[in-house]
């Protein structure tokens, strides 16, 4: 039975590309439309886009997923396996930059153990609106000081596209961010001829229509894959424990080791190194305020459940 990579999931079907012994897809082989064996449902397991699988061919030219190989990583939202890199796309204009949502995405990415690249899109619209890029520089500096890679892009002018294309080479990556930030436009710029559907921004609502309806791995000329995922504007913390939140703020981690109390929540305890850093300005006030907001959100959900 051949080995394969699930490159798309839609309406109960899994579209599998055959791979060689090293897991590299064979582009000369046709993609096989497969169903999953019933045993997976009994075990409470569902195949995911990005899964390395063993499959068999059936009489009607379709196939059956027989085995799911162990996953290196697994995301819940969006549901993708074996992703190595998350590209978080956030627009500088239309819709305006949302640092709270960016920090929420970063929490989930840190919890999943992925690398992250912050991709600031629509720089051309910001320059048209402001005539400058001071706000862009401030956001870039903030997150680079924490340790994240930040790239400023414009799919219209091509700015940053070549850097991002090189960064994605040989990786399975996921593009994520709220709808309307330019994910499809950026993918079209990275892979000319792809022609993904894009949508105009609703100025009344400040967000775009969801143009991506399913998760799909899009092959890049560089040899990597990008998971184009359904747009969404909010995340929940159901899979994250309250005690895990602070470790998902990477600038808190080295400070927390110096706190007086084990299990310090960094909200009120004396001799808290995180609170000291906030007072000194070495931890950004915006990041700390978002941490407190997320902590309260998680506690409220825990009380309701």
DSSP per position, 168-214: TTT-EEEEE-STTSSHHHHHHHHSTT-------EETTTTEE-----S
Task: Please tell me the distance from the alpha carbon of residue 93 to that of residue 121, in angstroms, as a whole number.
Answer: 8
End-to-end CA distance of the chain: 45
Task: Please tell me the distance from the alpha carbon of residue 223 to that of residue 215, in angstroms, as a whole number.
Answer: 19
pLDDT above 90: percentage of residues in the chain: 41
User: pLDDT, tens digit, for every residue of 4-50?
Assistant: 999 999 989 999 999 877 766 676 778 999 999 999 988 989 999 99
Question: Regarding beta strands 13-18 and 3-10, do their DSSP bridges make them parallel or antiparallel, or are they unpaired?
Answer: antiparallel
Local confidence band at 233 (pLDDT 50, 70, 90 cut-offs): very low
Question: What is the pLDDT at residue 199?
Answer: 40
Binding site, residues? 121-124, 177-185, 259, 264, 266, 272
Q: How many residues are given for the chain?
A: 305
Question: What is the pLDDT at residue 14?
Answer: 95
Helix ranges (H only) for 257-284 are 273-280
Task: Please tell me the distance from the alpha carbon of residue 249 to that of residue 305, in angstroms, as a whole number.
Answer: 25
Local confidence band at 194 (pLDDT 50, 70, 90 cut-offs): low
The DSSP letter of residue 248 is G
Q: Which of 247, 232, 242 is nearest to 112 (CA)?
A: 247
Local confidence band at 171 (pLDDT 50, 70, 90 cut-offs): confident
Give CA angle at 62 (60, 67), nearest 5°: 130
Other beta carbons less than 10 A from residue 129's beta carbon: 13
Check if the beta carbon of residue 152 is closer than 8 Å to that of residue 182. no
Instruction: Compare 194 and 292 and report the one with higher pLDDT.
Output: 292
Instruction: Compare 188 and 281 and report the one with higher pLDDT.
Output: 281
Check if the beta carbon of residue 121 is closer than 8 Å to that of residue 182. yes
**Domains annotated on the chain, with CATH:** 3-69 (2.40.50.140), 80-228 (3.40.50.300), 242-304 (1.10.40.50)
Binding site for Zn(2+), residues? 259, 264, 266, 272
Check if the beta carbon of residue 95 is closer than 8 Å to that of residue 207. yes
Binding site for GTP, residues? 121-124, 177-185
Task: Please tell me the distance from the alpha carbon of residue 47 to that of residue 88, in angstroms, as a whole number.
Answer: 24
């Amino acid at each position: 039975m051949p080995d394969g990579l699930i490159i798309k999931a839609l309406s109960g079907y899994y579209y599998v590309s055959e791979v060689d012994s090293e897991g590299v897809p064979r582009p000369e082989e046709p993609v096989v439309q497969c169903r999953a064996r019933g045993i997976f449902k009994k075990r409470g397991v569902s195949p995911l886009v990005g899964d390395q699988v063993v499959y068999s061919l059936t009489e009607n030219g379709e196939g059956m997923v027989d085995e799911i190989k162990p996953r290196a990583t697994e995301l819940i939202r969006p549901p993708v396996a074996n992703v190595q890199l998350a590209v978080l796309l956030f627009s500088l204009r239309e819709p305006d930059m949302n640092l709270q949502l960016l920090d929420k995405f970063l929490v989930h990415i840190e919890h999943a153990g992925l690398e992250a690249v912050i991709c600031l899109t629509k720089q051309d619209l910001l320059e048209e609106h402001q005539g400058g890029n001071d706000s862009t520089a401030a956001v870039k500096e903030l997150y680079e000081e924490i340790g994240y890679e930040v790239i400023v892009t414009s799919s219209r002018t091509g700015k940053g596209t070549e850097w991002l294309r090189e960064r994605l080479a040989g990786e399975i990556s996921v593009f994520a961010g709220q709808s309307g930030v330019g994910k499809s436009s950026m993918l079209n710029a990275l892979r000319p001829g792809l022609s993904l559907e894009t949508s105009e921004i609703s100025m009344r609502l400040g967000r775009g229509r969801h143009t991506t309806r399913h998760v799909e791995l899009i092959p890049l000329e560089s040899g990597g894959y990008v998971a184009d995922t359904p747009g969404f504007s909010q995340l929940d913390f159901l899979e994250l424990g309250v005690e895990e939140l602070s470790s998902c703020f990477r600038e808190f981690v080295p400070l927390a080791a110096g706190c007086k109390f084990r299990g310090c929540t960094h909200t009120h305890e004396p001799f808290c190194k995180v609170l000291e850093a906030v007072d000194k300005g070495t931890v950004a006030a915006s990041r700390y305020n978002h941490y407190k907001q997320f902590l309260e959100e998680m506690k409220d959900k825990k009380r309701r459940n």
